[in-house]
Every structure is written in structure tokens, then in C-alpha cells.
Amino acid sequence: MKIILASGSPRRKEILENMNLKFDIIKSSIEETIIENENPKDLVKRLSYEKAFDVAKKNKGSIVIGSDTIVVLENQILGKPNDKKEAFEMLKNMSGKEHSVITGISMIYLDENKEIKDFCVSKVKFKELSDKDINAYIETGEYKDKAGAYGIQGIGSILVEYIKGDYFNIVGFPISYASEIFKNEFGINLFEINKNRFI
């Protein structure tokens, strides 16, 4: 059976490729709307499902993976900043504090009416950041298209004091949890796929 990633995220693509998984990419065309007072965990589950279903309904015979990642600081959802000013405000507010990174994950296989939607939470604490360092980070441009205005897999790692939970969830896709869904729901064992890879 075919596997499709319903995301244009280069980070999710890289994580799945590192598992030696064969898949196609078809980016979902849904609008990522936020419903007022929606719980962050419900939000990522809904958006990951909407992305997956949007692609799955046009691609029968395929397992379609949808995912959505948000950053939550003191119950406030931090999306992708629109400009440098907004990025600065986000990073300044997170300085010295712990925030949550929540990723929704959905897998849909319409041929067997299988629909799995769930989420994974990791905690990240930033160091105390000076305005100078925040501005220097923003000037790298890495903040663009990143929830919470930083990328932990890049230069943004310097901002971090510690993490609790799945690192790859913070990058954008909780591969360890996804591997359990693959195995338990679809009979795809990522260890089996990779057992001869390094021999």
C-alpha cells in the first residue's frame, strides 16, 4: 500500500526519509483556521485530520499522514510569526520560561475505514535571552515559517536550556509514536524496513 505525507514541511519529509520509508508528498490545500477558545490539543488533532482527509479522499488505496505543530506559552498559542517584530515578541516572551510544543498526528486509510488522530506533547525551556541575542537570531532568518519563531534543529538550538519529551515532536513529527501507529494499525514495522540497512 502507498503512503502519502499530506505536508510540504521539509522537516517532516526528512524525518520520514531517515526511517527509509517510501512515500509520496501531496500537500493539503486546507485553510489552517483557529476556532476561538479551541483547546490547543483539539486544534492540532483537528488540523492534522483535516489535512490528511483532504488528501485521502482523492487518493484511495493510500495511507495518508497529516500533521500540525503549535507552540503554547501560558495557554497562548504561538503560530508562525508574520514578521521580525512578531518573532521578537514571541522569543522575548519565551525567554527564561518553559513552553509546550504540541504536534497533532493523523493517519487515514479510507479503504479500511481506518482513521487515527492523536497528539504528542514535549516541553522546552529557553535560556534567559538578551534583546541583542534575540535580534541576532532573527537576523539569521531561521524564524520564518516556524511555529514559535524558532527551529530547534538549527541555530535555534542555542536558545534552549532543556527539553522534556520527544525531540522529533519539537522538530515537527513524533516519529517514535508514529512508528507504533504504523506497526499496530497497518502492520508496518520500521525496524523490519531498516534491518539490513547498515550491514
Which sequence positions are flagged as catalytic? 68
Residues 6 or more apart from 163 whose CB is under 8 A from it? Answer: 122, 123, 124, 125, 152, 170
Backbone φ and ψ for 5, nearest 5 degrees, come out as -95, 120
- Measure the CA dihedral 123/135/8/103, to 10°: 10
